Chain A
């Protein structure tokens, strides 16, 4: 390695903690030489350690910015005991770690208090664009809009408090990471060890971020699957379960499953497509070709690439799903349920964009999907909060983290995970924020005599666990 010639200095750049002008022998041993920069480097997350070392060794910081944030917290809510305790524990743990509170228990207020207590700039990372809008509004209400920015597909404005998505966080922190001393990660169960593919790479943003203080928030902590989480954010510092908080903090709820019939023409279509699909399945025996249903399905889908017969079967399968998703009776039943609760605000959880758009057109209620422009999403969420809109339809965007305290009626028209437990629990969680003695109602609309019956059974089993911990209500 050539001897360094630059004056000693440390810097954060492009996700790297960089030490220049100091021989490797005198530098911390966790740094490695990077020939591209002719400097010693580590991942950005080690920058706080490098800064401590630099202070102790009189090495100046080449790029230092003031990250002090002193705007007062203007939230009229009085923190509950659980929220106070959560923040106190997190501060005591060195301002690192995860707080686990049930949906509706006020995790956002915990984050706002953490920002105020640390008094530094913060980057808030959330899973969806809808949540960016929601966090933006809550931060603006609490600290003033002039301090809040959003950084994701539609907007890229970096301010003292900047909200971003897990998808955009890497780019934000790579370029502007040095501006944030506190990192708040919402819904951190997405960072579980079991996450695969793109979901797993969300950790990269935390690996390059130089922020020393980190707060994770979730209602469903991935116990036993958290080794990466602990490394990136710290351990769980506070936890309250839904059972410990029912009555005191969360609304009680009731779930009702309503069966609807397909129309004669829909039934004929459903049966014909089912027949086409099942005939192929029987002839090709693809279900018997693998140990697990998931693997067998993957093999079948792959075979559709080269086999016209498999392609026709796959199309029949999709058409069958579409018939169930778009069943006429579901739209009628939705309107009926809305009429049963004329005073309630409602969320319509849909299984696909096509059905969400259709219900939006038929009932003239707004839709929030991934492609909804930021301005429109913002306006819809605000109008829901103010009560001028009475219902909103969504595909997956509003499944988790989203918060309209007054919405106590949910209608599930379909799911995107064929009976996935987490999605259903998260959807129920949207309705559980306590508002006086109001009871949350979740209606599931199921097309009778179709595959949807089995998906509904799976969902029900998952929710029963939650229901068991509450008194007097349930399936």
Chain B
């Protein structure tokens, strides 16, 4: 994450709105410079983090704004993979041996500097002066650059802009997330961050409001800002993402809106990487989608399948079904496919379906995919929104149940 010194110069408050001066490339000179930084860093593969940092800092002479370069450098370094140099894992033990040896040869006298290193160096097969020189090569700054990502200057630009946006969220007190998909990953990130969330539906879309549990009572209400910022990279992989945030800047509350690539492309300042295409959780899911698309029945009856994974509120928890089926008349129903299952897992799922009340939700369970004992007993568990199938669900069976439960939102 960028430091305040790397973010603050590119943020200004106009009235009560906070604006971020993203890095754009209106005259096509920025991207080649970023390509050049990437080439420079690629040449440094195998060198230490400290060397890479210094090499990037030296590019200051080519830029007008040192804070911009510092931020880009940090975004680039965090994009790369570094790991400990060879033999680093032995250094802590070697140091212990060296220091204990010095404890026995005390006090240090002129000419005995390498004496305490001798035994430990011999154990590692090194000369004493080499061990002396590399004694702290397991420090963070000595980590070696192992891999620079394949991306180009344009990708680095988008990544830097996303880091600027994250830096702004560090001072946020309340955040609203909007996206057209990718909810599963977003919820996972929100949960891991320990944030409070409220899900609100607006027409066909959803809005997730995030707040810090005890923010209202704290000396620094924006304390949860770092957690909001942690969610942003996950959200930024979702299609059509948008964030409305309330931020405290210089003690004053203000608002900021962050958007993904769609808007940013127009300004030449992409924010975040390309939205990721949602993958299927299982071959089972993929097969159902293929069967549905191949089925003429669904199309003839006006049904369409959407992989939006629109979230549902269910008994205080949030439930993310696999698909949403929408009819041309506006009715819709969510479908959750249960692949391999244990009785405990299925019991919890069914409880969630029941807690969802009259929410149009269909649970499809494969009898053949029960794991362990007790599966046969569970197959008696019924309900008008639970469909038991054999190895694979038939589209017709699922759609008949969907027809029964679907309703307009």
User: What residue of chain A has the Cβ atom nearest to residue B101's Cβ?
Assistant: A364
B103 near A388 with CB under 8 A, answer yes
Report if A366-B214 is in contact (Cβ < 8 Å); known contacts: A201-B223, A339-B109, A371-B139: no
Q: How far is the CA of A388 from the CA of B98 in the complex (A)?
A: 12
Q: How near does chain A come to B138, taking the closest CB pair, in angstroms?
A: 8
Q: How far is the CA of A357 from the CA of B67 in the complex (A)?
A: 29
Q: How far is the CA of A203 from the CA of B218 in the complex (A)?
A: 8
Chain B binder among A92-100, A157-165, A242-250, A302-310: A302-310
Residues of the A chain whose Cβ atoms lie less than 8 Å from the Cβ of B61: 308
Residues of the B chain whose Cβ atoms lie less than 8 Å from the Cβ of A174: 194, 213-214
Q: How far is the CA of A266 from the CA of B381 in the complex (A)?
A: 84
B residues 268-307 touching A (CB-CB < 8 Å): none
Residues of the A chain whose Cβ atoms lie less than 8 Å from the Cβ of B135: 360-361
User: What residue of chain B has the Cβ atom nearest to residue A332's Cβ?
Assistant: B110
A296-335 CB contact bits vs B (8 Å, 1 = yes)?
0000000011101001000000000000000000000001
A207 near B220 with CB under 8 A, answer no
Report if A16-B99 is in contact (Cβ < 8 Å); known contacts: A308-B61, A361-B133: no
A200 near B108 with CB under 8 A, answer no
Residues of the B chain whose Cβ atoms lie less than 8 Å from the Cβ of A362: 113
A366 near B99 with CB under 8 A, answer yes
Q: How near does chain A come to B240, taking the closest CB pair, in angstroms?
A: 26
Which of B66, B117, B218 is close to A311, meaning CB atoms less than 8 Å apart? B66
Which of A16, A305, A367 is close to B9, meaning CB atoms less than 8 Å apart? A305
User: What residue of chain A has the Cβ atom nearest to residue B66's Cβ?
Assistant: A305
Residues of the A chain whose Cβ atoms lie less than 8 Å from the Cβ of B92: 373, 375-376
With an 8 A cutoff between CB atoms, is A390 at the interface? yes
Chain B binder among A36-44, A101-109, A270-278, A462-470: A36-44
Q: How large is the interface on A (under 10, 10 to 19, 20 to 34, 35 or more residues)?
A: 35 or more
With an 8 A cutoff between CB atoms, is A342 at the interface? yes
Q: How far is the CA of A375 from the CA of B92 in the complex (A)?
A: 9
B98 near A304 with CB under 8 A, answer no
Question: Which B residues have a C-beta under 8 Å from some C-beta of A?
Answer: 9, 60-61, 64-67, 92, 95-96, 98-103, 106-110, 113, 116-117, 132-133, 135-136, 139-140, 194, 196, 198, 211, 213-214, 216-220, 223
B100 near A357 with CB under 8 A, answer no
Report if A342-B106 is in contact (Cβ < 8 Å); known contacts: A365-B99, A376-B95: yes
B219 near A43 with CB under 8 A, answer no
Q: How near does chain A come to B262, taking the closest CB pair, in angstroms?
A: 31
A residues 74-125 touching B (CB-CB < 8 Å): none
Residues of the B chain whose Cβ atoms lie less than 8 Å from the Cβ of A200: 219-220
Residues of the B chain whose Cβ atoms lie less than 8 Å from the Cβ of A342: 106-107
Residues of the B chain whose Cβ atoms lie less than 8 Å from the Cβ of A389: 99-100, 102-103
With an 8 A cutoff between CB atoms, is A15 at the interface? yes
Residues of the B chain whose Cβ atoms lie less than 8 Å from the Cβ of A364: 98-99, 101-102, 108, 113, 116-117, 132
User: What residue of chain B has the Cβ atom nearest to residue A43's Cβ?
Assistant: B217
Q: How near does chain B come to A77, taking the closest CB pair, in angstroms?
A: 26
Residues of the B chain whose Cβ atoms lie less than 8 Å from the Cβ of A304: 66
Residues of the A chain whose Cβ atoms lie less than 8 Å from the Cβ of B214: 14-16, 43-44, 174, 207-208
Give the interface centre of A14, A200, A357 by most chain B CB atoms within 10 Å.
A14
Q: How far is the CA of A337 from the CA of B383 in the complex (A)?
A: 84
Q: How near does chain B come to A24, taking the closest CB pair, in angstroms?
A: 16
B65 near A305 with CB under 8 A, answer yes
User: What residue of chain A has the Cβ atom nearest to residue B112's Cβ?
Assistant: A364
9 contacts between A and B (CB under 8 A): A14-B213, A174-B214, A175-B194, A200-B220, A204-B218, A207-B217, A339-B107, A361-B135, A364-B99
Report if A208-B108 is in contact (Cβ < 8 Å); known contacts: A365-B102, A383-B100, A388-B100: no
Question: Which A residues have a C-beta under 8 Å from some C-beta of B?
Answer: 13-16, 32, 36, 42-44, 170, 174-175, 200-201, 203-204, 207-208, 228, 304-306, 308, 311, 335, 338-339, 342, 357, 360-367, 371, 373, 375-376, 379-380, 383, 388-390
Q: How near does chain A come to B135, taking the closest CB pair, in angstroms?
A: 5
Q: How near does chain B come to A4, taking the closest CB pair, in angstroms?
A: 14
A207 near B96 with CB under 8 A, answer no
Which of A14, A203, A366 is close to B196, meaning CB atoms less than 8 Å apart? A14
B140 near A371 with CB under 8 A, answer yes
Residues of the B chain whose Cβ atoms lie less than 8 Å from the Cβ of A388: 100, 103
B99 near A207 with CB under 8 A, answer no
Q: How far is the CA of A174 from the CA of B193 in the complex (A)?
A: 12
Q: How far is the CA of A459 from the CA of B60 in the complex (A)?
A: 36
Residues of the B chain whose Cβ atoms lie less than 8 Å from the Cβ of A379: 96
Q: How near does chain A come to B213, taking the closest CB pair, in angstroms?
A: 4
Which of A201, A306, A339, A361 is close to B132, meaning CB atoms less than 8 Å apart? A361
Given A364-B132, A383-B99, A388-B100, 4 more pairs with CB closer than 8 A: A14-B194, A14-B214, A174-B214, A335-B110
User: What residue of chain A has the Cβ atom nearest to residue B5's Cβ?
Assistant: A305
Q: Kindly list the 8 A-B residue pairs having the minimum CB-CB distance in the complex, ordered from nearest.
A: A15-B214, A43-B217, A14-B213, A364-B102, A364-B116, A201-B220, A366-B99, A204-B218
Residues of the A chain whose Cβ atoms lie less than 8 Å from the Cβ of B223: 170, 201, 204
Q: How near does chain A come to B189, taking the closest CB pair, in angstroms?
A: 17
User: What residue of chain B has the Cβ atom nearest to residue A334's Cβ?
Assistant: B108
Q: How near does chain B come to A175, taking the closest CB pair, in angstroms?
A: 8
User: What residue of chain A has the Cβ atom nearest to residue B4's Cβ?
Assistant: A197
A390 near B220 with CB under 8 A, answer no
A376 near B132 with CB under 8 A, answer no
Q: How near does chain B come to A174, taking the closest CB pair, in angstroms?
A: 7
Q: How near does chain B come to A272, taking the closest CB pair, in angstroms?
A: 19
Residues of the B chain whose Cβ atoms lie less than 8 Å from the Cβ of A335: 107-110
Q: How far is the CA of A357 from the CA of B133 in the complex (A)?
A: 10
Q: How near does chain B come to A170, taking the closest CB pair, in angstroms?
A: 7
Residues of the A chain whose Cβ atoms lie less than 8 Å from the Cβ of B67: 305
A207 near B109 with CB under 8 A, answer no
Residues of the A chain whose Cβ atoms lie less than 8 Å from the Cβ of B106: 342, 390
B108 near A339 with CB under 8 A, answer yes
Q: How near does chain B come to A424, taking the closest CB pair, in angstroms?
A: 25
B196 near A36 with CB under 8 A, answer yes
B95 near A366 with CB under 8 A, answer yes
Q: How far is the CA of A383 from the CA of B101 in the complex (A)?
A: 12
User: What residue of chain B has the Cβ atom nearest to residue A195's Cβ?
Assistant: B219
Give the interface centre of B64, B98, B107, B140 by most chain A CB atoms within 10 Å.
B107
A207 near B219 with CB under 8 A, answer yes
User: What residue of chain A has the Cβ atom nearest to residue B197's Cβ?
Assistant: A36
Which of B65, B96, B217, B219 is close to A376, meaning CB atoms less than 8 Å apart? B96
Residues of the B chain whose Cβ atoms lie less than 8 Å from the Cβ of A360: 135-136
Q: How far is the CA of A311 from the CA of B63 in the complex (A)?
A: 12
Q: How near does chain B come to A255, taking the closest CB pair, in angstroms?
A: 21
Q: How far is the CA of A342 from the CA of B219 in the complex (A)?
A: 50
Q: How far is the CA of A203 from the CA of B108 in the complex (A)?
A: 45
Q: How far is the CA of A301 from the CA of B66 in the complex (A)?
A: 11
B198 near A36 with CB under 8 A, answer yes
Residues of the B chain whose Cβ atoms lie less than 8 Å from the Cβ of A367: 136
